[in-house]
Structure 1
Amino acid sequence: MKLVEPSRLAPALGAVFLLILAGGWLWPPIAGVFFVFILPIALSFTIVGAFVAMRRPENPVGWLMLAFGGVASLNGASNQYFTYGAITHPGSLPGTDFVISLAVHTWHPGFALFILAFFLFPDGTLPSPRWRIPAAATALLGTVGVVFGMLEFEFQRTWDPIAGRAMDPLFGGTLRTIGDVVFGFCVLALVAMFAVSAVGLVVRLRRTRGVEREQIKWVVSAIVLTVIALVSSLFVFGNGTLGALMLPSIPISMAVAVLRYRLFDIDRLIRRTLVYATVTAVLTGIYSVIVVGVGTVFETENSTSPALVAAATLVLATLFRPLRNRLQTIVDRHFNRRRFDATRTIETFAAQLRNEIDLDSLSATLVATVNETIEPAQASLWLRSPRDY
């Protein structure tokens, strides 16, 4: 029997997972958590994972991302099934208690797959033999957790209080008690394994050089960006919506790293993110001071009057370019010192070029500038004799 080629198996599995996700639309209304949380995760991990697995079938990172996308797709469809059959139209669908338990507890092995992808990133192998223990523990915790998770009920009720009121536990007595204890331990242990994998990425980022360092830098940057978005969203909006919407940046960054597509652009991307995020924060603060603060000081009846908004917009438009240039200089000085020094050297040479008239002095300065900025193995300047013209 001929096995299916990985280049065909990966997109086929991706299509199946997307069909499962689309099945959630069969049972309206679509819950808000489906759009905000499940849909971005399922789509990004399924599509990106299938693409990476198709292009690099020997690397398990792509397959792990694809499997995690499948778990998220199953979770989304199961949640919609339960909501329709137990809450919106009670009794209209069979097996809703089992389906919601499956939806809640499939996240556990999915989380284990996510952690294993970090352990094996970027080339599909563990950093060293000693990492076999946490990797094996993660796989074991994911398997044991989903089995005993189907026995427990307390976590389900805490995770989704609305569903908890509309469902009955699958088991009771001793089995349920054992499930509560074992599943609780597995959840805490997996969180610890995630911390270990994150620390491992940071340690490898500090120790590695060259291509692998750039690969890890992509993923670490995406994780930091997602965490910042999540924390900011919790404080500003009272929920994690923004953080959930940023989660697709993690599989995308992993794909860029594994496939090595424009790998060395990460430093420029980080610098631009720092600059524009800071500019946005500063301009937002200035706008708030003008619109809210000035309106309060002068006790205007409407602090958001069109004139005040227009004035604030004009101030922001005036400040944007000089503020961005100033912040770009600061960021380059601290995070791109070579470019900053090269720019200063070229500016100094340009000033000398305007004032210097001695050809020999200019030639020596030009060669010195090239050596300092481009750092070639050897630099020399040839000038044509005037009689050759």
Structure 2
Amino acid sequence: MRSAGLMLAAVAAALVALTVHLGRGLAFPPAVGAQPVPYGELVGVAMAVPAGAVVLFARPRNPIGWLLLAFAVFGTAQDAAAVYAVRAEARPEERLPGASLAYSLGVSLWVPAFAQLILLLVFYPSGRPQAAWWCWVNRTTVGSTALVTAALAMTPQQPRDRVWGEGPVLELPASWATALSLGGALLLAGAAVLVLGGALVRTWRSRAPERQQLLWLLISVALLL
């Protein structure tokens, strides 16, 4: 289990390096107000790699380390895919394959990354939900995450987003994509509110050292978001 966790950490680190490598020589027009490589986002996501590796090495059967590493992998994969799609659009002479798939992943993988933070609050710090009914919240989180991720990956590209790269690998009708996105987002937002409220209540009722552990996590998640 420790070896598998270290492999996940290595994958996330490699994706950070790949994102920077793919972004070499690329620049958006000044009017866009952004650059292809989101360095600030990369640093924030990469910070979860050593934290997840340390926790997983110390407690390999506790899901906390795995959730941190999953957050890092999803986040860095999204950045790498997005920059890959931009490079494929900007440098057609390089003939990069799979640009449409990269675009779909680059606009949608932030959703499962966000979901890892919701699940993290449920399992932290013991690695087990505090009550049986939290399992339903976890299932709602996973199901709505899959729904929103798929909907975003297949949402028709807006003209103003053309600068970000190729279009989706598969496009749904705009009305379908909007309905799926909104429905899944409402479920995911409801789960997030329940989990955050539950974490605040647990923090209020708990004693040391669990209160300090929960406070550290809540502060970290708030800063990250």
**Contact in 2 for aligned 1:50/1:66 (Cα 8 Å):** yes
Structure 2 CA distance for partners of 1:152 and 1:209, relative to 1, 3 Å:
same
1:110 to 104, 109, 113: 113
* Aligned-residue offset at 1:184: 2.5
**How many residue pairs are counted as aligned between the two chains?**
215
2:68 to 65, 86, 92: 65
Q: Which amino acid aligns with 1:34?
A: P
Structure 2 CA distance for partners of 1:47 and 1:165, relative to 1, 3 Å:
closer
**Contact in 2 for aligned 1:157/1:164 (Cα 8 Å):** no
Q: CA RMSD in A?
A: 2.4
Structure 2 CA distance for partners of 1:169 and 1:210, relative to 1, 3 Å:
closer
Partner Cα separation in structure 2 for residue 128 and residue 173 of structure 1: 39
User: More relative contact order in 1 or in 2 (CA 8 Å, sep 6+)?
Assistant: 2
> In the TM superposition, what whole-angstrom CA distance separates every residue of 1:116-162 from its partner, at most 9, and x where no partner exists?
11111111111111222211100111223323333223xx649xx44
TM-score by length of 2: 0.84
**Contact in 1 for aligned 2:85/2:165 (Cα 8 Å):** no
Partner Cα separation in structure 1 for residue 158 and residue 37 of structure 2: 17
TM-score by length of 1: 0.51
* Aligned-residue offset at 1:40: 1.6
Q: Where does 1:209-248 land on structure 2 (aligned, <5 Å)?
A: 209-223=207-221, 226=223, 247=224
Q: Which structure features the higher share of helix residues?
A: 1
* Aligned-residue offset at 1:172: 4.4
In structure 2, the partner of 1:36 is: 40
Partner Cα separation in structure 2 for residue 191 and residue 157 of structure 1: 24
In structure 1, stretches of 5+ residues that fail to align are 1-5, 227-246, 251-389
Q: Which amino acid aligns with 1:197?
A: V
In structure 1, the partner of 2:183 is: 185
Partner Cα separation in structure 2 for residue 96 and residue 113 of structure 1: 26
In structure 2, the partner of 1:14 is: 9
Percent identity, please.
24
1:202 to 176, 181, 200: 200
- The structure having more radius of gyration, on CA atoms, is 1
In structure 2, the partner of 1:94 is: 97
Q: Which amino acid aligns with 1:71?
A: F
**Contact in 2 for aligned 1:46/1:67 (Cα 8 Å):** no
In structure 1, the partner of 2:29 is: none
**Contact in 1 for aligned 2:105/2:153 (Cα 8 Å):** yes
